[in-house]
Amino acid sequence: MIDEHILGIEKQRRLNRQISIVLRAGVVAAFVIILAGLILIPLLHSQSPMAIMSFSTLPAELAKLNPLALITTGILVVLVLPVVVIIMAFIYYINIHDRRMIIVCSILLAMVIFSFIYALR
C-alpha cells in the first residue's frame, strides 16, 4: 500500500511540474507574441489599428504580420491555457482511474466547449 501511495504522490508531482511548464511556456509565448505586435504597430502603421479581428481572418492577417493579429493571437494563447490544463488533468485522472475527477474534468471541459460554442453564435 505504501508503495502505491508514494507512486501516486510522484505521479501528482509530475503532473504539477508538467502543468507548471505548460503555464510558464504559454505565458512567455503570449507575452512575446503580444510584445511583437505592440512593437510592430509604430513600425508598420502610422496609426494604431483598432479594427476587431475575426477568427476567420486571423491566419491571413498573421501571414501579413498584422500587429493586431499578433496581439489577438497572444490573447488567444492566454485564453487557451486553462483548457490545456484541464485536458492534462483529464488525461492524468484517466491514467490513475480516478472516476470522480474524470467526471469533474469532463464537466469542466463540457462547460468550456459549450461556452465557446455559445460565444460564436
| pLDDT for 105 | 95
Percentage of the residues of the chain whose pLDDT score is greater than 70? 88
How many structural domains is the chain composed of?
A: 1
Owning domain of residue 96: 2-120
- Reply yes or no on whether the pLDDT at 53 is more than 60: yes
Full 3-state SS string of 34-103: HHHHHHHHHHHCCCCCCCCCCCCCHHHHHHCCCHHHHHHHHHHHHHHHHHHHHHHHHHHHHHCCCHHHHH
Buried b (16+ CB within 10 A) or exposed e, 37-74: beebbeeeeeeebeeebeeeebeebeeeebbbbbbbbb
Taking Cα atoms as reference points, which of 49, 58, 63 lies closest to residue 76? 58
pLDDT in tens, 70-93: 999 999 999 999 999 999 999 999
pLDDT of residue 119: 82
pLDDT at 43: 83
